[in-house]
Amino acid sequence: MTAHAPGADADADDLDVEEALALVKEIPGRTPGAPHPPDHRLHATVWTEARALAERAARHGGGRRTGHLTPVTVPLAEALGLTLAAPLTALTDLPSFDTSAMDGWAVSGPGPWHVREEGVLAGHTEHAPLTDGEAVRIATGARIPPDTTAVLRSEHGRTDATGRLHVTAAAGAPHTVTHGQDIRPRGQECRSGDQLLSAGTRATPAVLGMAAAAGYDTLSVVPRPRVDVFVLGDELLSEGLPHGGLIRDALGPMLPPWLRALGAEATAVCRIGDDEDALHEALTASDADVVVTTGGTAAGPVDHVHPTLRRIGAELLVDGVQVRPGHPMLLARTRENQHLVGLPGNPLAAVSGLLTLAEPLLRTLAARPAPEPYTLPLRDAVQGHPYDTRLVPVSLRGDRALPLLYNGPAMLRGVAAADALAVVPPGGARPGQEAELLDLPWASGGIGVCFT
Ligand SMILES: Nc1nc2c(c(=O)[nH]1)N[C@H]1C(S)=C(S)[C@@H](COP(=O)(O)OP(=O)(O)OC[C@H]3O[C@@H](n4cnc5c(N)ncnc54)[C@H](O)[C@@H]3O)O[C@H]1N2
Ligand code: MOO
């Protein structure tokens, strides 16, 4: 199975005549073999630079040097998945008192010991000091009475008929009782004021547990960027079968959970037809940090994104990217604290725009770390575009990436079965060639982790 099948054919169809000719003939004045983009595409941004620009864009908005949104304080349970805005500093010693690590007896000095009447339970307040030769029953986690020298585990001791406690033997030798045995001393894990985690750490379930243990009720975190999604197009149906030239909206159901996996707060999708005034109204009314539009990015008669951006005086930061699919994608600063990512309408082109422009922008606003870049060899050859980077859905099989079919701009069939998108450089890739991979969030983090 290779990528030279339905999707690749569809992608080849997408080349204009000038580009297609460039595949087979040299351009005068150029080094043989070195392709040159046609003039009308020179303004399109190189793919890697577009990603860097999207990351930097966040740093300019609102005069934020770090690029991330202003931190907020939230209850622990609401911090899951967010980034800590301040170091997590212990508010207490841990353990906060000397505790027993085992169920058994707190003992003082060498045995045998006289056992006190009352037991000691976890969470109870301080007990009277032990005297030398004395023991008291103790539970795991209970506060150690003063002058305890060790804890004897319940399975290592027995009381005789007179109530005295003795160490039992194993394999002929008595269990040892060393000084401090099975006692967790106060401050063993940390002292009050110790830094447990640095700012920038992601609040995982384990971090929430650590914070609670260290005395926190709330955490200072970078909030999720709020995203409004505007789906453009008169031809879109929200239910039922395609009919009469109308098709199902594939992006409305896909974008909010995907944006959430990228760290955003995206709830409602606003369906706007091919109506320039409605788009203008929705855009000027939005107070979201980021607006994501779908469709209407090209130069067709009802492609209203560019005219609307001009109308509101937005600054175009990226206007077309040298990537397939998705080359008409755009990024604009609509106002001081708001950006707009214009995703092309073709569904896989929209995915490409999501990973090229929305991911770096949202990651920076949410103060998330950039994913570690990695590569794998491609199992099969992938046909390249002459000038543009290609993003091709792949399935990860052991230590190889298998390029998937049905990777044309209008298709989701490939990406729906994929674990990642392979970055294929201009000119294509040979079998076995290493390709950079962009993981799909559910493949790397688990679907539950991403979308809760
Ligand atoms: N003259 C040119 N035409 C086109 C160019 C070009 O460079 N010159 N680029 C092509 C490429 S590449 C793409 S991608 C599309 C981008 O078009 P738009 O962003 O303006 O999107 P639309 O025209 O609105 O739609 C394109 C296509 O996608 C379907 N679509 C739109 N929204 C959805 C949705 N939510 N769910 C499913 N499908 C959707 C729409 O019906 C169209 O078939 O422009 C090319 N044209
Ligand atoms: O057809 Mo277009 O390459 O952006 O999806």
CATH for 11: 2.40.340.10
Predicted structure pTM score: 0.85
Q: Rounded distance, CA 3 to CA 5, Å? A: 5
The pLDDT value given to residue 186? 96
Question: What CATH number corresponds to the domain at position 175?
Answer: 2.170.190.11
The pLDDT value given to residue 303? 87
Residue nearest atom 1 in ligand 2 by C-alpha distance: 409
Out of 162, 184, 206, pick the residue that ends a domain: 184
Do β-strands 247-248 and 236-237 pair in parallel, antiparallel, or remain unpaired? Answer: parallel
Nearest ligand to the CA atom of 13: 2
Which DSSP state fits 77? G
Residue nearest atom 3 in ligand 2 by C-alpha distance: 325
Number of domains making up the chain:
4
Contacting residues for 413 by C-beta, under 8 A, at least 6 apart: 405, 406
The pLDDT value given to residue 322? 97
The pLDDT value given to residue 301? 84
| Residue 321 sits in the same domain as residue 353 | yes
Ligand 1: residues with CB < 6 A are 14, 231, 233, 235-236, 247, 249-251, 294-300, 303, 325, 327-328, 344-347, 349, 409
| Residue 239 sits in the same domain as residue 289 | yes
| Residue 83 sits in the same domain as residue 200 | yes
| Residue 169 sits in the same domain as residue 198 | no
| Residue 33 maps to a domain | no
| Residue 238 sits in the same domain as residue 258 | yes
Please choose from 276, 309, 346, 351 the residue to mutate so as to test ligand 1's pocket, defined by most ligand atoms within 8 A of CB.
Answer: 346
In this prediction, the answer to ipTM > 0.85 reads yes
| Residue 343 sits in the same domain as residue 378 | no
349 Cα nearest atom in ligand 2: 5
| Residue 434 sits in the same domain as residue 327 | no
**Six token digits for residue 164:** 């005295």
Contact yes or no for 138/103 (Cβ under 8 A):
yes
The pLDDT value given to residue 235? 95
- The domain of 434 spans 6-28+373-446
Contact yes or no for 419/439 (Cβ under 8 A):
yes
| Residue 80 maps to a domain | yes
Contacting residues for 209 by C-beta, under 8 A, at least 6 apart: none
| Residue 19 sits in the same domain as residue 139 | no
Question: What CATH number corresponds to the domain at position 285?
Answer: 3.40.980.10
Please choose from 11, 13, 14, 411 the residue to mutate so as to test ligand 2's pocket, defined by most ligand atoms within 8 A of CB.
Answer: 14
Which residues are paired to 218 by β-bridges? 75
Per-residue pLDDT tens digits of the chain, which is 452 residues long: 333 344 443 444 444 433 333 333 333 333 344 454 554 456 799 999 999 999 999 987 655 678 899 999 999 999 999 999 999 999 999 999 999 999 999 999 999 999 998 777 766 667 889 999 999 999 999 999 999 999 999 999 999 999 899 999 887 888 889 999 999 999 999 999 999 999 999 999 999 999 999 999 999 999 999 999 999 999 999 999 999 999 999 999 999 999 999 999 997 799 999 999 999 999 999 999 999 999 999 888 888 999 999 999 999 999 999 999 999 999 999 999 999 999 999 999 999 999 999 999 999 999 999 998 999 999 999 999 999 999 999 999 999 999 999 999 999 999 999 999 999 999 999 999 999 999 998 886 654 444 44
- For residue 53, the surrounding DSSP H or E stretch is helix 47-60
| Residue 112 sits in the same domain as residue 243 | no
Please choose from 346, 388, 424 the residue to mutate so as to test ligand 2's pocket, defined by most ligand atoms within 8 A of CB.
Answer: 346
| Residue 434 maps to a domain | yes
HEC string of 143-187 equals ECCCCCCEEEEHHHEEECCCCEEEECEECCEECCCCCCCCEECCC
For 392, list phi and psi in degrees, rounded to 5.
-125, 125
| Residue 338 sits in the same domain as residue 247 | yes
**Six token digits for residue 268:** 């409602």
Phi-psi region of 340 (alpha: psi -120 to 50; beta: other; left: phi over 0): beta
| Residue 1 maps to a domain | no
346 Cα nearest atom in ligand 2: 5
Contact yes or no for 291/280 (Cβ under 8 A):
no
| Residue 79 maps to a domain | yes
| Residue 36 maps to a domain | no
The pLDDT value given to residue 299? 81
* Three-state secondary structure call for residue 328: coil
| Residue 286 maps to a domain | yes
C-alpha of residue 70 to centroid of ligand 1, in Å = 36
Residue-wise burial string across 371-397, b where 16 or more C-beta atoms lie within 10 A, e elsewhere? eeeeebebbbbbbbbbbbbbbbbbbbe
Out of 154, 184, 214, pick the residue that ends a domain: 184
| Residue 175 sits in the same domain as residue 238 | no
| Residue 116 sits in the same domain as residue 167 | yes
* Three-state secondary structure call for residue 114: strand
The pLDDT value given to residue 120? 72
**Six token digits for residue 299:** 């130069």
| Residue 271 maps to a domain | yes
- For residue 316, the surrounding DSSP H or E stretch is strand 315-319
Out of 202, 222, 242, pick the residue that ends a domain: 222
Residue nearest atom 25 in ligand 1 by C-alpha distance: 345
